Amino acid sequence: MLYGRILRVNHLFTRLRRGLHSNSYAPARAREEPMLVLNCKNYAEATGSRLARLYRAAEASSRRHGARIAIAPPPHLVSAARSRRVATLAQHADDRGPGSTTGHVVPELLRAAGVAGSIINHSEHRLRPAEIRAVIGRLRSLGMSSIACARTAPEAARIAALGPDYVAIEPPSLIGSGTAISRARPGLIRDAARAI
């Protein structure tokens, strides 16, 4: 199912160019370009040879459309996922350093594994504002990107004030539903963009 959705990536870029963000992340700061992020969650369809096919499809679409694409594979596969054209993101990061931090996702170790940045505050892994700010700062100090998630336009504005590189907006009811926010709630995208 996941791979079938990825094959429609060319259609998503056409829509992205028109300003209809479908599963896309809007830059929180003017210097950033729009980027399409494919979050694989922990689906079995995003493992082994299927993950490699996903990266190849994303690379082809990136070349064809000249767009930035990033993939957030399942956490245990971040170091195995390599691409020159498509960035690899972590699905989460903690404000913890190397050492006695069992169970935490350490940004320094992500960076050493070739990960370009992290999704933060996804609806499936919420954080407090202070934690979001701390993780953004830690990622920035390492030269890594941050993509902070919001559920509503007012929350997007609050999160943008914390300084992430990108802000993603999607109500929890649409996550994993196969329904694009641009079709179900296009006004939410507009409201969030204005709020940011």
Distance between alpha carbon 56 and the CA centroid of its chain, in Å? 18
- Cβ-contact 37, 168 below 8 angstroms: yes
State residue 11's pLDDT score.
39
- Mean pLDDT over residues 45-67, rounded? 91
CA–CA separation, 107 and 103 (whole Å): 13
**Inter-residue contact 60 to 87 (CB < 8 Å):** no
Domain tally, the chain: 1
Query: pTM for the full model?
Result: 0.81
For residue 99, the domain's CATH number is 3.20.20.70
Q: Is 125 a catalytic residue?
A: no
- Which candidate in 11, 122, 125, 155 is catalytic? 122
The dihedral through the CA atoms of 35, 36, 39, 44 has a sign that is negative
Helix (H, G, I), strand (E, B) or coil at 125: coil
Of all residues in the chain, the percent with pLDDT exceeding 70 is 84
Q: Which tens digit of pLDDT belongs to each residue from 179-192?
A: 888 888 888 888 88
Average pLDDT, the chain: 84
**Domain ranges, residue 153:** 2-195
Of 21, 92, 155, 170, which residue is the catalytic one? 170
Q: Give the per-residue pLDDT at 62.
A: 92
- The pLDDT, as a whole number, for residue 32 is 58
Supply the pLDDT for residue 153.
93
Our answer to whether residue 104 is catalytic in this structure is no
